[in-house]
Amino acid sequence: MSVTTTIKCDRCHKEVKNTEIKSININVADGANNRYEPSYSYPVKHADWCIDCCVEMQVYSPKKKTDEPTPPPITIEDLVREIVREETS
Ligand SMILES: [Zn+2]
């Protein structure tokens, strides 16, 4: 018998398998050079997003064909705004 866990995306509210969800975190770290040291960072905001939302918001990109058009880049401000919007709604 196998058990499948489903999780609801914090952004689009679609239910997906736990293997199809990504943890999105905004961390704050001391000093400019600590961005690669997670033990020195402090989580400030968190959201669980499905892969479709991650791709739409450009925080995750599965391998794709090179001839596909690239969407315009999303700014870090847009990304933070999206995560905070989910926490306040
Ligand atoms: Zn989603």
Per-residue confidence (pLDDT) for residue 67, from 0 to 100:
75
pTM score: 0.66
pLDDT in tens, 4-20: 889 999 999 999 999 89
Residue 31: inside a domain = yes
Domain membership of residue 51 as a residue range: 6-88
How far, in Å, CA of 24 to CA of 82, rounded?
A: 11
Per-residue confidence (pLDDT) for residue 69, from 0 to 100:
76
pLDDT in tens, 28-75: 777 666 556 555 666 678 899 999 999 999 888 877 667 777 778 888
Query: Tokens 């995560």 appear where?
Result: 83
Residue 64: inside a domain = yes
Which residues hold their Cβ within 5 A of ligand 1, which is an ion? 9, 11-12, 50, 53
Residue 76: inside a domain = yes
Ligand 1 centroid distance, CA of 57 (Å)? 10
Ligand 1 centroid distance, CA of 34 (Å)? 30
Per-residue confidence (pLDDT) for residue 42, from 0 to 100:
67
Task: List all residues 6 or more positions away from 54 whose beta carbon is below 8 Å from its beta carbon.
Answer: 22, 24, 60
Ligand 1 centroid distance, CA of 16 (Å)? 9
Residue 1: inside a domain = no
Residue 50: inside a domain = yes
Using a 10 angstrom Cβ sphere, with 0-12 exposed, 13-18 middle and 19 or more buried, the burial of residue 48 is: middle
